[in-house]
Chains A and B, each alone.
Chain A
Amino acid sequence: AQSVTQLGSHVSVSEGALVLLRCNYSSSVPPYLFWYVQYPNQGLQLLLKYTSAATLVKGINGFEAEFKKSETSFHLTKPSAHMSDAAEYFCAVSDLRAGSARQLTFGSGTQLTVLP
C-alpha cells in the first residue's frame, strides 16, 4: 500500500521568505510523486511531478521539489514567497501496480499562509 505524510498542517511564512512544505511517502514500488495546489473554491492544480527522469523537478510559479529516495521525501520549496502563494498544498503518489487505475493517494494537505 502507498501512503503520503505531510508534516505540518499549517505553515506561515513572511512574504519574500523561503517556502518549505514537507512530504514523505511510503511505496512498495518506485513512486511517481506529485504536488497539487488548491485555491479556495477552485479545483486542484498540478504544480509539478516526479516521474524518475530527474530528482530535482521544477514546476510552475517558481516551485520546485527534490526526490530523495534515501529519505523517502519529496519536499516542495520556493525561494521567495509571494502573497499569491497562499493556498492549500497536497502531495500525492500514483498507484503504479499492474492493472491499477493509477489513482492518486493524497496527503492530508498543508495550508500555506503568507504574511505581509
Chain B
Amino acid sequence: GAGVSQTPSNKVTEKGKYVELRCDPISGHTALYWYRQSLGQGPEFLIYFQGTGAADDSGLPNDRFFAVRPEGSVSTLKIQRTERGDSAVYLCASSLIRTSPYNEQFFGPGTRLTVL
C-alpha cells in the first residue's frame, strides 16, 4: 500500500512569508507526528496528533508554528512569518496507534524548506 506522502518535496520562500506543508499518512493510522531535521542533525519532535486533536505540541519552537488535522487523516503544518532559521527538512510520520511503543512510526520523504 501507499506510504506516508508529503507535499511539496521542496519549498523555497522568502523571509516573512507564510508556508503550509502537507502530510498524507498511511490509511488507517490514527497517530501522526511532525519532526524537523536541521542540517547535520537528527530529527526533532514537533507535534503529535491522535485522531483530530493535537495531543502533544511541546516540540513546537514558538507560536509561529501551528498544525492541524481536521478530519483525522491529512495534516498541515503551518509556519507564519518564516525566518531563515526555519530552513530544514520537515518530516511526517504515522503509526497505527500511540499507546504501544511497538508500533513502528513510518516516515514520509520530507519537505525541504528553504527560507531566503
Contact B101 A94 (CB under 8 A): yes
Judged by a CB distance under 8 angstroms, whether B66 is at the interface is: no
- From A45, A51, A106, A108, name the one whose CB has the most chain B CB atoms within 10 angstroms: A106
Judged by a CB distance under 8 angstroms, whether B91 is at the interface is: yes
Within the complex, the shortest CB–CB distance from B46 to chain A, in Å, comes to 9
Chain B, 84-116, contact with A by CB distance < 8 Å: what is the 0/1 string? 000000010101001101111111111000000
Within the complex, the shortest CB–CB distance from A54 to chain B, in Å, comes to 14
Judged by a CB distance under 8 angstroms, whether A90 is at the interface is: yes
Count of A residues near B, CB < 8 Å?
A: 26
Contact B41 A109 (CB under 8 A): yes
Contact B98 A102 (CB under 8 A): yes
Judged by a CB distance under 8 angstroms, whether B65 is at the interface is: no
Judged by a CB distance under 8 angstroms, whether A56 is at the interface is: no
Contact B43 A101 (CB under 8 A): no
Count of B residues near A, CB < 8 Å?
A: 31
Q: Give CA–CA (A71, B41) in the complex, Å.
A: 24
Of all chain B residues, which has the CB nearest A107?
A: B42
For residues 81 through 114 of chain A, which have their beta carbon under 8 Å from a beta carbon of chain B?
Answer: 90, 92, 94, 96, 100-109
Of all chain A residues, which has the CB nearest B48?
A: A101
Residues of chain B within 8 A (CB-CB) of A32 are: 101
Of all chain A residues, which has the CB nearest B42?
A: A106
Contact A101 B101 (CB under 8 A): no
Contact A103 B108 (CB under 8 A): no
Q: Give CA–CA (A9, B42) in the complex, Å.
A: 11
The one of B42, B59, B99, B107 that contacts A103, using a Cβ cutoff of 8 Å: B59
Residues of chain A within 8 A (CB-CB) of B98 are: 101-102
Q: Give CA–CA (A49, B103) in the complex, Å.
A: 10
Known A96-B101, A100-B56, A101-B48: A43·B4 in contact at CB below 8 Å: yes
Chain A interface (Cβ < 8 Å from any Cβ of B): 4, 9, 32, 36, 41-46, 49, 51, 90, 92, 94, 96, 100-109
Query: Beyond the given A43-B91, A43-B109, A109-B40, could you list 12 further A-B residue pairs with CB under 8 A, ordered by the A residue number?
Result: A43-B4, A49-B102, A90-B42, A90-B43, A101-B55, A101-B98, A102-B31, A103-B45, A103-B56, A104-B43, A107-B42, A109-B41
